Amino acid sequence: MRNSLIPCALVTATLSLLLVGQVNAQVELIAKGTLTSSWAGSYTDLSGLTGSLENGVQANLLGGLGSGLAHVSGDTFLALPDRGPNAVSFDSLIDDTVSYIPRFHKIKMNLARNSDSKGLPYTIEPKLEETTLLNSLTPLVYGNGDGLGVGTGKLPQNNFFVHYFSGRSDNYNPDRNSGDPNNARLDPESIRVSPDGLTVFI
């Protein structure tokens, strides 16, 4: 999937920075940092979403960082959460997945030399700067929830121009191949940025 960089928000994570030297050298841990909040609040991303998901978890939950991490430039990275919070029991017929909108976060790492002689050689203070919600300009296929004990998978945030992807596992067309690009369900696993920094590949 291809998506241009658009400001937005989400995630909770513990980030560790590793430095790799020569090809045969050992990996050395040089800093540890934790990202559990943003200017919007504790465990809150910058997506601007409000309300709760079907399982009661807030729609703008900051968490799940680590499915993918991509370097943009300098101390800027993009972090990709997985398909959303499905660790909370909800409905086993849809694998406890919910209508979480997949997203990625722009994070500044802020690495600095540690002035304390004890501990790791550097400190790192990750800061969430933006959250981007993944969407399509063309309509997507959502599940209707029939026989599953849940309502439709269509997202209330959709409008005529924007159709958001979803972590819910039933948002697909059962008559088409599972790789159909019109399926709304999305379980992102990795992220990369084009050399010119203008396009994100997920």
**pLDDT tens sequence across 45-57:** 999 999 999 999 9
Contact 167, 134 (CB under 8 A): no
Buried b (16+ CB within 10 A) or exposed e, 44-61: bbbbebeeebbbebbbbb
What is the number of residues in the chain?
A: 202
What is the predicted pLDDT for the residue at 159? Answer: 96
Q: Which pLDDT belongs to residue 23?
A: 63
Residues 107 and 128: beta-carbon distance below 8 Å: yes
Dist CA 143 CA 174 (whole Å):
9
Instruction: Find the domain containing 89 and state its range.
Output: 1-202
Q: Which residues of 77-107 are buried (b: 16+ CB within 10 A; e: fewer)?
A: bbbbbbbbbbeeebbeebebbbbbbbbbbbb
What separation in angstroms does the CA of 174 have from each of 69, 177, 183, 195? 32, 8, 10, 37
Q: Percentage of the chain with pLDDT > 70? A: 88
Distance CA 108, CA 13 (A): 14
Domains in the chain, number: 1
- pLDDT tens digit string along 142-180? 999 888 888 899 999 999 999 999 999 999 999 998 889
Compute CA 4 distance to the chain's CA centroid, rounded to the nearest angstrom: 15
